[in-house]
Amino acid sequence: MNKKLNSRLAPEDFVLVQLDEDLFDDSFVGQPVSYFGDALIRLSRNKSAIIAFGIIVFIIIMALFGPAMNQFGYNQQMVDRVNLPPRIPIFAKFGVFDGTRILYNRQVANLTDPSRYPEGSILETVRTFTSRDIAMADIKADMYKMHDVPDDINFWFGTDYLGRDLWTRTWRGARVSLMIAVIAVFVNIVIGTIYGAIAGYYGGKADMVMMRFTEIVGAFPQSILATMLILVLGTGIRAIIIALVVRGWIGTARLIRAQFLRFKGREYVLAARTLGVDDRKLIFRHILPNSIGPIITRAMIAVPGAIFSEAFLAFIGLGIQAPEPSMGVLLSDAQKVLTSYPYQTLFPAILISILMISFNLFGNGLRDAFDPTMRGVD
Amino acid sequence: MLKYVLKRLLAAAVTLFIILALAFAVVRLMPGSVYDDPNLDQAIIDMLIERAHLDKPIHIQFYYFLKGVVMDKDWGTSVKVEPGVPAFQVLANRIPVSLQINLISLLISVPIGIVAGIVAALQKNRGADTLISVGVIIFISVPSFVFASLMQYFLAYKLKLFPILYQPSAVGALRLKSMVLPIAALSLSPIATITRYLRGELIEVLGSEYMLLAKTKGLGRFKATVKHAFRNASLPMMNVIVPMFANIVGGSMVIERLFSIPGVGGTMIKSINANDHSLTVATLMFYAMISIGTALLVDLSYGLVDPRVRVGGKKDE
């Protein structure tokens, strides 16, 4: 077909557009876009990742400053204000979080006793009935009035079984959990990167020995290893971080090793070596930057995993020591009184859920941004 | 192939042995002892300590322990959680309860995950896919114990649809009913994991040439996906599902506690808090065996499916 078409065109059919001068752009019109700039552009188009990032920043700010936003300390016990339901002034108008609670099976005769039920504490009688010839009632009561709490003191998230303010404890718990997760992930990434870089760069025997070692460590189940370590080290923030690090660095090490195997034979590495660049500089200045994207993505996705592990350990009784709160400790304490005081579970549960969803969404966004070929895979 | 299998088996056995030794050492070196009870007579304490060989150096203790395990399947005797009962027996009573919950959860998650994954891939970027993807991100992110608490409060306590706690003594329908919530709490994350994996795999192959050929042959989109794409994706999926079982078993520690299920997880927590050393070692070994067993299964199936693995090292993750 091409031939036919060609045969129909004679040289005369072609007209030169111009022949007077050489054609050049007078300047570069496009802007050079760096690797990170490119990723940032892609990331900024990902709405869910941006929202998730905003939420993470908000939670971090609240974790830093939230505990100091009222006058109560995280370990300040108030015996006369135990298990108060939450009261949030704005919501109270709509009948939620208004500091009330339904009290079941109260004797009607006692309801008028002001020493038990102070003036104005009973809002309404939900149900009356008789049991063993005694008049009983279920009442809706203002718990703040009952415990003689002044009107201008509001426990936004309520108080726990020791009368500690849960607003303060929740945000402090978020701070502790985030701190544990971030430190553990950071240490994991640093160890894994250096280990993987050395194994991948030098290859050969060193690689074989080093990778065999990761296989051995990797064969230990994470939960067993963490349990045993905490049994030895005792419960505490440091012990939990160590328990999360011991096996956590392996994934990064494998990833970085694979990256090094891929890049170390490239021409630019050879060129740099010919110019006399030493090993350390080759590893960290020339080859490693190729892996920055995957490393950041991996770190972001590892954070919710670490938060989960901390909560998991708290649930099996190996959490950090009282009175320091963490998301896991709060949830595990609240679980014991779930049916009586569900609000104690509600706020930490919402917080940990939102935090983990946000980290996952942001991590996915980062991965798509750094590696567009992976887009839409999940 | 035989050499490969033997090598893997040996490696697994060595790992198990190291874990056993470590677990033994860790538990013995733990501060505190059941014999610290001030109500006990010193003579009795001395007798008990001597009987458990606790007065000897630790490597001798380990030797006696190993001898007991190998010769008479004697993992020591529980002293606090179920006083006087051999640790092996304590576990033998509880493993079926745990396994029942975990296996049912796995059996439920696999088909649901597969269906959801196929639907999401076929409906890519349309309504159903968006819905499933949102569900996936939520179920993967939110911890199982949060779901467990939510379901316990709303479904069990408020709506009274299910019992709040597991009912070990109930029989028939009530017992099944009491198992619904823990199983549901355990299954959400595995379902989401399978869905996400399968959707990714399918979307990758849906554009491939053999799918085009299948279409050209006259196969419908659904049939082509199930017959060709799914088949190709299902083999590597085994490597997601099998290790997941170890995760479910590990994760059920917390769920067992929340629902008061008399399983292995609860026993481990109790034995740790009560310094019941023999029992702690035995439960640790149970979990180690489950996860090393599943890892071994994955390794062997890899070797079976992909001969390259047998020659070289492990496939990179």
The string of pLDDT tens digits covering residues B101-128 is 888 888 899 899 988 988 888 887 788 8
Contact across the interface for A228 and B284, Cβ inside 8 Å: yes
Q: How much is the average pLDDT of B204-215?
A: 79
Q: Are strands A122-131 and A134-142 parallel, antiparallel or unpaired?
A: antiparallel
Q: How much is the average pLDDT of A112-118?
A: 71
Quick one: A11 exposed, middle or buried, by C-beta within 10 A (0-12, 13-18, 19+)? exposed
3-state SS assignment for residue A261: helix
Tens digit of each residue's pLDDT (9 = 90 or more) over A208-235: 888 878 877 777 777 778 887 887 887 7
The predicted pLDDT at position A150 comes to 73
Cis-peptide, bond into residue B236, ω within 30° of zero = no
- Supply the ipTM of this predicted assembly: 0.78
Q: Decide which of A57 and B237 is more confident.
A: A57
Q: How much is the average pLDDT of B278-299?
A: 82
Contacts of B256 (CB under 8 A, 6+ apart): B98, B101, B182, B263, B264, B265, B266
Which amino acid belongs to residue A159? T
How far, in Å, CA of A96 to CA of B227, rounded? 53
Under 8 Å between Cβ of B60 and A266: no
How far, in Å, CA of A367 to CA of A373, rounded? 10
The predicted pLDDT at position A190 comes to 93
Q: How much is the average pLDDT of A265-280?
A: 86
Residue A376: band (very low, low, confident or very high) from pLDDT cuts 50, 70, 90? very low
Whether A324 shows a pLDDT value over 50: the answer reads yes
Chain A residues with CB within 8 Å of chain B CB: 211, 215-216, 219-224, 227-228, 231-232, 234, 251, 254-255, 258, 304, 308, 311-312, 315-318, 331, 334-335, 338-339, 342, 345, 349, 352-353, 356-357, 359-361, 364, 376-378
Instruction: Find the closest chain B residue to A338 by CA distance.
Output: B153
Least confident of A52-56, A81-85, A210-214, A366-370: A81-85
Residue with the two structure tokens 């839409």? A376
Mean pLDDT of chain A: 80
The CATH architecture annotation of domain A163-374 reads Orthogonal Bundle (1.10)
Q: Which tokens sit at A128?
A: 């009356």
**Which residues in B lie closer than 8 A to residue A211 (C-beta atoms)?**
313
Enumerate the domain spans of chain B: 14-72, 91-305
Residue of B29, B144, B149 to mutate when probing chain A, most A C-beta within 10 A: B149
Enumerate the domain spans of chain A: 87-146, 163-374
Least confident of A167-181, A184-198, A253-267, A345-359: A253-267
User: Which member of A228, A304, A317 has the closest CB to residue B269?
Assistant: A317
How far, in Å, CA of B18 to CA of A224, rounded? 13
- Name the helix (H) or strand (E) containing A138: strand A134-142
Least confident of A260-264, B16-20, B306-310: B306-310
- Of A162, A164, A161, nearest to A74 (Cα)? A164
Provide, rounded to the nearest whole percent, the portion of chain A with pLDDT above 90.
8
The predicted pLDDT at position A183 comes to 93
How many Å lie between the alpha carbon of B139 and the closest alpha carbon of chain A?
A: 9
Q: What is the DSSP string of B67-98?
A: HHHHHH----B-SSSSTTSBHHHHHHHHHHHH
Residue A373: band (very low, low, confident or very high) from pLDDT cuts 50, 70, 90? low
Which CATH code for domain B91-305? 1.10.3720.10
3-state SS assignment for residue B259: coil
User: Which member of B291, B292, B317 has the closest CB to residue A254?
Assistant: B317
User: Which member of A220, A339, A353 has the closest CB to residue B142?
Assistant: A353
Q: For chain B, positions 9-68, list CB contacts with chain A under 8 A.
A: 11-12, 15, 19, 22-23, 26-27, 29-31
Contact across the interface for B288 and A361, Cβ inside 8 Å: no
How far, in Å, CA of A162 to CA of A323, rounded? 11
How far, in Å, CA of B148 to CA of B152, rounded? 6
Which amino acid belongs to residue B152? Q
Contact across the interface for B317 and A345, Cβ inside 8 Å: no
How far, in Å, CA of B308 to CA of B38, rounded? 62
Q: Which tokens sit at B181?
A: 């919530």
The predicted pLDDT at position A30 comes to 74
3-state SS assignment for residue A322: coil
